[in-house]
Amino acid sequence: MSYEDTGQFKAVVEQLDDPLNDPLPGRPPAVPEPEYPERPFAEPAPVFPDPDVPPVAEPDPAFPDPDVPPVAEMEQTARMPVVAEPDAPARSGGPEPVTPSAPPVPPAPPPAPSDGGRAARRKAARAGGGGHRAGGRGQSGPAHGSGAAQEASGAPLSRVEARRAAKAAKDSPAVVVSRIVGELFITTGVLMLLFVTYQLWWTNVRAHQQANGAANNLQHQWDSDSADPNRVPGTFSPGQGFAIMYIPTLDVKAPIAQGVSKHNVLDKGMIGHYDGALNTAMPWDKSGNFAVAAHRNTHGEPFRYINHLVPGDKVVVETASDYYTYQITSSLPSTSPANTEVIKPVPVGSGFTGPGRYLTLTTCTPEFTSENRLIVWGKLIEERPRSKGKPDALVGH
C-alpha cells in the first residue's frame, strides 16, 4: 500500500496554509461571502458580425489612449470644494475654511458623425426612400404626381402637370348632377313657400283692401245719389256692387256684387249674387230666394266660418234704401256643385214648403278645396228703411 492510498498525504496537505485564502499577517481574517443558489442564465445569442461594418480594434496596452485617464486616477474619489453660503449664520466653533472652486470643465464636443460603412449607408437609403431608384422616384414623385405640392414649393408646372392639376380640381359628373338636383329642390321649396304665403296671406290682404274700398264707395254713393236703387235683377252690370252684407256673429262685412265670376267678383273679396240662367231674386223682391256665393279660403274668405252659424243667428243686407234682416234656419254640410236645387225659389232640402223671401249662402267645402258645396239657409224677418237707422242686429256692431 502506498503513502497516498492511506490518506495521510491528503491530511498533511490540508493542514498547509493556503496563500490565496489565508489572511496576511497583521490583517483580520476575511469574512466568507454568502453563497447564493445558482440561477440559470440564458446564454447570449451568438453575434454575427456585419461584413459591411469594420471591426473595432481592441486597445493596445503598449500604446495607451491619451484622451482616456489611467485607471488609478479614475478609481480615486473626486473631492468637491466646499462653498460657504453667503447669508448663512456663523456656526459655533469658528468659521470653516473656504476652498476656492475649480474652474468649470467645458463640455466635450459631440463626436463627428461617421460614415458607418456600407450597411449604414444602405439603412439610411432605405429610410430615405428605398435606394437610389426609389429615392429618384421619391424626388420626382411630388413634381409629377401633385401640382399643388409643386405650386406650394414655388416650382413652375409643366403643361402636362398643369392639365392634371386642372382635371383633378374639376368636380366629377356625379357631384355636378347632385349639386344641380339639390339646387332645384331648394328653389322649388322656396317657390312653393312663396306661393303658399301669397295664397294664404297676401290674397286676403289685397281682397280686404278691395272689398273695403267697394263698400265705402257704395255707402258714399248711397248718401249722395237720389236715384231709386231698387232696380229689377239684371240691370246691374257684372261685377257691379249693389249691397253690403253683415254677419254680426262672425264679424263679417263685405260688399255684394252682381255675378259669381271668380276673377271679377269672388277673388276681390266680394260676395257674388247668382244671376244669368239661375236668375235668383233680389232682397227687395216680394218673393224668391236671394242666393249668394263667396270664398271660404283665401281672397278675403268672407264665408270662412259660415259652418258655425246656427238657427237664430242674424244676417243683414244693406241696400241704398233699406236694411233686410234674415234669420238662419238650417244648413246642408255638403252637396255636389251640380246641385242647383238648393238655390231655387223654394230651395230643396231647406225645410221651406212654400214661396217666401229666402236667403241662401253657398261656399266650397272641405276647406282649401272646391270638391263640394256648403249650404246655409235663412228667411226674411225684418225690412227696415235706412232712414230709421240700423236694425237691432247691427246695434253695437
Query: How crowded is residue 297: how many other Cβ atoms within 10 Å of its Cβ?
Result: 19
Bridge pairing between strands 271-273 and 314-318: unpaired
Alpha helices in 76-155, H assignment, sequence order: 117-128, 131-145, 147-153
d(CA 276, CA 168) in angstroms, rounded, equals 72
Choose among 328, 333, 265, 323: nearest CA to 299: 265
Using an 8 Å Cβ cutoff, are 283 and 317 in contact? yes
**Active-site residue, selected from the candidate residues 295, 296, 304, 384:** 295
**Catalytic (active site) residue 27:** no
Q: How far apart are the first and last CA of the chain?
A: 159
Q: Between helices 117-128 and 131-145, what is the axis angle to 10°?
A: 20
**Catalytic (active site) residue 364:** yes
**Active-site residue, selected from the candidate residues 299, 357, 373, 384:** 373
d(CA 287, CA 94) in angstroms, rounded, equals 143
Using an 8 Å Cβ cutoff, are 246 and 253 in contact? yes
Choose among 185, 179, 143, 181: nearest CA to 162: 143
Phi, psi (rounded to 5 degrees) for 351: 95, -5
Phi, psi (rounded to 5 degrees) for 369: -140, 170
**Catalytic (active site) residue 384:** no
Query: How crowded is residue 171: how many other Cβ atoms within 10 Å of its Cβ?
Result: 10
d(CA 280, CA 259) in angstroms, rounded, equals 11
d(CA 281, CA 291) in angstroms, rounded, equals 7
Choose among 326, 321, 323: nearest CA to 292: 326
**Active-site residue, selected from the candidate residues 273, 296, 364, 384:** 364
Which of the residues are catalytic? 295, 364, 373
